[in-house]
Structure 1
Amino acid sequence: MGLLITAGFEDLLSIGDQSRPDLFALKIQRPTPLEQCRHGVVERIDAAGRVETPLQTAGLVTLLQQWRDSGIDSLAVVLLHSSRNPCHELAIAALARPLAFQYIALSHQVSPLPKCVVRGQTTVLDAYLTPPLQRYVQTLQRQLGDVQLQFMTSSGGLAEPARFTGSEAVLSGPAGGVIGAVQACRDLGRTRCIGFDMGGTSTDVFHWGGTLERCGEALIAGLRIQKPMLDINTVASGGGSVISWREGRLRVGPHSAGSNPGPACYGLGGPATITDANLLVGHLCPTQLPSCFGPGADARLDPAAAACAFGQLLRQAPSGAISADEDADEETALLHLARDALRIANEQMAQAIRAISIARGAGGLRWCRWSACL
């Protein structure tokens, strides 16, 4: 994916607004730029939409052809104040279309609002995600034949296949959960709910008080995305969240074991996770789950592997860091360690619920087990 941006502002999207993502971190890790190459275009439109410097197209077609020859198949065009006057972005698109780019994202169309940084980051994300997304959509459409196909968007609406773009789809999965939960509540005659969607890597929560709550901007993978979307709070605490010791404290997440190797109990050599903790304390019953784990994908969950992973954690534990008595046997200490990890995970999820309920004056004491934490 290539980026064309107003000359002199080539690094604007990487610099951002200079806010620190982690105020007290000594080493800031910025997200890796999504574009493979970028180029500054000589042009300038002022804040009122007046052309100060006409677009200089000399050599631009040659540059774009070089990008196509090198394998660049999508293009993001981000020019200052294009939301007020898009003439230069439209002119660049007219030059690029004959070169057969698979997708051209113009910032004034992707996010027609002020603030060049967030508009630009949204456009770059759109240009990065849309080509593979459209390839998948086209394949699915061919396989389904004449069946009418629509896709859930981040705002909770539906989009036709041709209009389903990367920036519209980035939170479409959680949005589908919100819409389903709200419809279930309406069917039951309920007028409010807290939605809780726990996956392998993260947990999504939302509040519904009779109307869908939306926001116009969100921070996703270090990028600010300016699109209408359902207001969903996400925390890095899921079934695959890795349990570890850091700075003398037991931590849950943000890293996840994923599906391969997955939790230790999958039998593939994975680390101790929340799933292993639930297995050790008896919240999961291996005989009630399919035999699809292990190297041959034909074994049940392995409690011994989970206990072994927690045993390694136990041996690494700082003195006094576990709630069990010092003279407790290893099995008891393992159970205490697993319960401690679950308490931390529950608290992290409760914090997410607080953020979308109590912090907004929508008391959360009526929902789920997390009311004890709230």
Structure 2
Amino acid sequence: MIQHMNLVFQAEGLSVGEGAFLLACCNHTDAKGYVIASMQQLADESHMKMTAAKSNKQRLIQRGLLASSERYSPKNGARIADLYRVNLDLLATMKRARTDYGPTLIEELTFNVPKKTPRSAPRSDSDPSPRSDSAPPPSDSDPPRSDSDGDAGSDSDPLLLPSPSPSSLSLVAADADDRMDVSPDGEREIEAPLEEHNPHPSEAELPLQREGSRKNAAGGGRIVAAYAEALGRPVLNGTKAKLDRQAVELLAQGLPEAWLCDRAREMAARGWSDLVRHAEMSTAPVTQTTTKSRRSGLPEWCTKCGPGSPAARLNPRFRTLGEMGSGEKCPNCHPDRVAAGASR
């Protein structure tokens, strides 16, 4: 037991060998000091040869600090580990007197105890001193008060709770980081946000939108395939979804599919993945390969709304007087306005 080993450390009058052997015995003692361990085990734990261990054991037995008894197996009479007992009472009387060993530290370590300021007495109604309201309110940049500050538990301290919603600025920054790509040469391309369109299209627009959406989705897949072919390896799922979404958006704006495929191949060669940004920055001429065809039920485009976007020729959503895809419907070529004028 560790308590018995501590008695050996505090005992006085033991030789080095006696102390080491006694420590090995106390490593296996029970509450009454009995030890069951073989002689070889005690010699190994006391770092002695067998002859030295037996010699120190005999000296401890002669001094009355140790008692031993041979043990034999009741089954076959074979010799087994001896039984030892440490004289704990005698060992406790050998405790050396308390000794001052002097300073052991280079410098003393101290602790600063915070000073507590007494609470102010409550104001009475008869107190003639007026309360000063000229003190400036605490600034938002002031650090919060800790419990160690004076009068930390005052009832007048403001209770500042954390806001349950994140800052709007952090949301804007996080959204910008999600839409940003970095090219190998350090060019940063920010994905253009998707434009908001009218969530409730008219009945005249629905068949045209469905037909245009199917064609744009097929064209977007071919643009992504051109990007993967130029890249020379499969496109990651996140990049693939992003390119497909941007390709459909650009096709809906009237940009030719072949022209967008060429831009996608250029991006793959440079390690970019923002098709919208690259299409805006590209100086390659746009060659319209599709022929003008009037859709069934869609009036001819007046070329004055959109404003001026070739997407308005095929998509009535862009036939507005404001910015692209927003504002008042064009009275000259928007299906709803034209149909309403004809009904009158």
Which bin holds the TM-score, normalised by the shorter protein? under 0.3
Query: How does the TM-score come out when normalised to structure 2?
Result: 0.19
More strand by share: 1
Query: How does the TM-score come out when normalised to structure 1?
Result: 0.18
* Structure number with bigger Rg: 2
